[in-house]
Chain A
Amino acid sequence: QVQLQESGPGLVKPSQTLSLTCTVSGGSISSAGYHWSWIRHHPGKGLEWIGYIYYSGSTYYNPSLRSRVTISIDTSKNQFSLRLSSVTAADTAVYYCASAIAAAPLDLWGRGTLVTVSS
């Protein structure tokens, strides 16, 4: 079955750019109608949707993060990626990748990866 796996540095310095990759296995990231999301969970707080991308490259971002977020897709590697610029301690969180068919709930999630912003 399809699985998602996040990867990337667990520690990022303030003001730098956080970069994570989600690898899709057991299925194609180019599947028509699917979108590929990033969500984060701040310690002791709730879930925050960051944004998603379609295989076509169309992106949709959380307005509160739009100025700092870029989500991209690499169909040749079956991966999609997150870049979050100018990070602060407030960006410390567990970052999840997830997927869904368009206009449907997120029914497949990665296990998540903790990213800490600290000098």
Chain B
Amino acid sequence: DIVMTQSPDSLAVSLGERATINCKASQSVLSSSRNKNYLAWYQQKPGQPPKLLIYWASTRESGVPDRFSGSGSGTDFTLTISSLQAEDVAVYYCQQYYNTHTFGQGTKLEIK
């Protein structure tokens, strides 16, 4: 199994400030043959299903605001929200799809 570990578990950021969430995989999720990282980020709000934000570690899903960005490769990844908006309050999950699927434990993002 590939274990995904996120940090921190919770995060409070002021409106307009940057939020950064980290995700570490227990083994590389980089495909050398395709040169792609099989890593996605999801946003989940209460009472809603998860929403895909970013895939291939850094590609934004259609319609996702450009304040959301993803980076990293191999085993270490980061989701950054450049300027936090009130509607960004949610739980964020990283997920690997290199070998079946595994989610991180989630990071709860709140307004400071």
Contact = CB atoms under 8 A, between A and B. Distances in A.
Best-buried of A46, A100, A110 by chain B (most CB within 10 Å): A46
Given A46-B103, A47-B106, A104 B50 contact: no
B40 interface: yes
Nearest to A110: B49
Given A48-B103, A49-B102, A105 B49 contact: no
A47 B52 contact: no
Interface residues of A, number: 24
Contacts, number: 58
Interface in A54-102: 60, 62-63, 96, 98, 100
Q: How large is the interface on B (under 10, 10 to 19, 20 to 34, 35 or more residues)?
A: 20 to 34
Contact of A104 (B42, B97, B106): B97
Given A47-B103, A106-B97, 10 more contacts: A45-B105, A47-B95, A47-B106, A62-B100, A98-B49, A104-B55, A104-B97, A105-B97, A106-B40, A106-B95
5 contacts: A45-B105, A105-B55, A105-B97, A106-B50, A107-B55
